Amino acid sequence: MSHTLAEKLIAAHLPEEREVWPGELVEVMVDLVLSNDITAPIAIREFEKLGVERVFDPERVVMVPDHFAPAKDIESAEQCRAMRQFARRQGMTNYREVGRMGIEHVLLPEQGMVAPGEMIVGADSHTCTYGALGAFATGMGSTDIAVAMATGRIWMRVPETIRIVYHGRLQRWVGGKDLILYTIGQIGVSGARYKAIEFVGPAIESLSMDGRLTMANMAIEAGAKVGLIEVDDTTREYVDGRAMRPYQVYQADADATYAQVIEIDASQIEPQVAFPHLPENARPVSEAGNVPIDQVVIGSCTNGRLDDLRVVDDILGGLQVHPDVRCIIIPGSQQVYLDAMREGLLDDFVEAGAAVSTPTCGPCLGGHMGVLASGERAVSTTNRNFRGRMGHPESEVYLAGPAVAAASAVLGRVAGPQEVMS
């Protein structure tokens, strides 16, 4: 019988060899279990209640303190210490502390900890990022993650799949963030609830791996369980030489059955901006109107990679951040920071009047390094703009890609890159 990519990936991780179908409840074996400084302490407490002494595999349980790290206060320092001590007791090889870490969903692909064909679960909703590598990756609650750490297994319902086909050639300045914001604007934040999404088509094939990771990252903002992109030469070029383990490639059958097939002419998509307070409030930046801003945040697990920073430099290099705007740029990992520094990008950012931070999720969740006051507006390359997400409930967050964010930082209002480059 014919199957979608999600169904094949799940079937490959069953204890016994058989097919799976949407709606089934199945137990699957996992290749990697992830948690961070918000979710790991809860998972550790639940793990200890199980009466199990050791994690199922100390090389396949990853912990990354990135949300409130470097520790912003005593409470966050205690959270990080709980992770650190647990990791040392367990002999975990993939505990990544400040100075050797990054934002988890930037770090793991970069360091080869995740690979095509794998089953990855994490106590963070944006674990779905790794679907860009052709892996089944999804977020779960800390209690489920505790069981996964102990047993190497989890249960799930096999999802239906939506196939989204992106035709055409992308316009200048349009990247993965614009494609996913446009898509969420079309189907809504619950349009793919508990479904898998397969992103396919010529426009997807033209994206770099960084752009693909951005798209898979925000599949959850449409309610999806996972966002998948099939392995191709771009994937192999990225993964080969990085992957810590041998990997298996799976592909959807040509005659697989889908819950829905959506066709999109990507050549008509302009740079996008999502207005408060939902990612589905997306519109072309040319229709944004005059929206003055107070802050720009460039970074996060969505757009903190090197390609993103290069786009910012293409616009911001040689110009100045508007005097009324605070521009905060956060490389997504130590490696991204080093690469950007060696290319001279960080010099350009600082000379433009931007602040450059060590890797952290910080402002994305209103934690630190850029919390908004009442009435303030920010353009952000992060993934969510819910009310109060980045600070005061009366603040506003406008989601965009790095090109729109950089242009907005220069002009002091929501703006498109063409306005600056012309």
Share of the chain above pLDDT 90, in %: 98
Burial of 314 (0-12, 13-18, 19+ CB in 10 A): middle
pLDDT over threshold 90, residue 422: no
User: At which of 205, 237, 263 does a domain end?
Assistant: 263
CATH number at residue 258: 3.30.499.10
Backbone φ and ψ of 372, nearest 5°: -90, 145
Say yes or no: 194 and 333 in one domain.
Answer: no
Share of the chain above pLDDT 70, in %: 100
pLDDT number for residue 179: 98
User: Residue 143 — very low, low, confident or very high, per pLDDT cuts 50/70/90?
Assistant: very high
Average pLDDT value for residue range 305-310: 98
Q: Which amino acid is at 122?
A: G
Say yes or no: 301 and 182 in one domain.
Answer: no
For the stretch 383-421, pLDDT in tens is: 999 999 999 999 999 999 999 999 999 999 999 999 998
Tell me the angle at which helices 209-217 and 306-316 cross, rounded to the nearest 10 degrees.
100
Task: Quote the CA–CA distance of 213 and 102 in Å, as a whole number.
Answer: 15
Decide: 364 and 300 in contact? Cβ < 8 Å.
Answer: yes
User: At which of 208, 233, 263 does a domain end?
Assistant: 263
Average pLDDT value for residue range 316-322: 95
Task: Quote the CA–CA distance of 127 and 336 in Å, as a whole number.
Answer: 19
For the stretch 177-210, pLDDT in tens is: 999 999 999 999 999 999 999 999 999 999 999 9
Average model confidence (pLDDT) across the chain: 96
Beta strands of 113-244 (E only): which ranges? 119-122, 136-139, 153-157, 161-167, 196-200, 226-228
Say yes or no: 189 and 288 in one domain.
Answer: no
Length of the chain as a residue count = 422
Say yes or no: 86 and 212 in one domain.
Answer: yes
CA angle centred on 150, ends 7 and 229, rounded to 5°: 25
Say yes or no: 332 and 246 in one domain.
Answer: no
pLDDT number for residue 1: 79
Neighbours of 110 (CB within 10 A): 21
Say yes or no: 211 and 351 in one domain.
Answer: no
Average pLDDT value for residue range 276-285: 97
Say yes or no: 211 and 311 in one domain.
Answer: no
Decide: 276 and 387 in contact? Cβ < 8 Å.
Answer: yes
Average pLDDT value for residue range 344-351: 97
Helices (H), 111-167: 142-151
Decide: 285 and 400 in contact? Cβ < 8 Å.
Answer: yes
Any bridge partners for residue 377, and if so which? Answer: 396
Say yes or no: 348 and 383 in one domain.
Answer: yes
User: At which of 263, 282, 297 does a domain end?
Assistant: 263
Say yes or no: 80 and 208 in one domain.
Answer: yes
pLDDT number for residue 341: 97
Give the strands of the sheet with 326-329, arranged side by side: 282-284, 272-274, 396-400, 377-380, 295-298, 326-329, 355-356
For the stretch 35-82, pLDDT in tens is: 999 999 999 999 999 999 999 999 999 999 999 999 999 999 999 999
Decide: 167 and 199 in contact? Cβ < 8 Å.
Answer: no
Domain interval for residue 320: 272-421
Q: How many structural domains are present in the chain?
A: 2
What does the block give as tokens for 399? 């989601």
Say yes or no: 256 and 341 in one domain.
Answer: no
Say yes or no: 278 and 224 in one domain.
Answer: no
Average pLDDT value for residue range 270-279: 97
Say yes or no: 225 and 107 in one domain.
Answer: yes
Going by their DSSP bridges, the two strands 260-265 and 161-167 should be labelled as parallel
User: Residue 307 — very low, low, confident or very high, per pLDDT cuts 50/70/90?
Assistant: very high
Buried b (16+ CB within 10 A) or exposed e, 219-250: bbbbbbbbbbbbbeebbeebbeeebeeebeeb
Task: Quote the CA–CA distance of 69 and 368 in Å, as a whole number.
Answer: 9
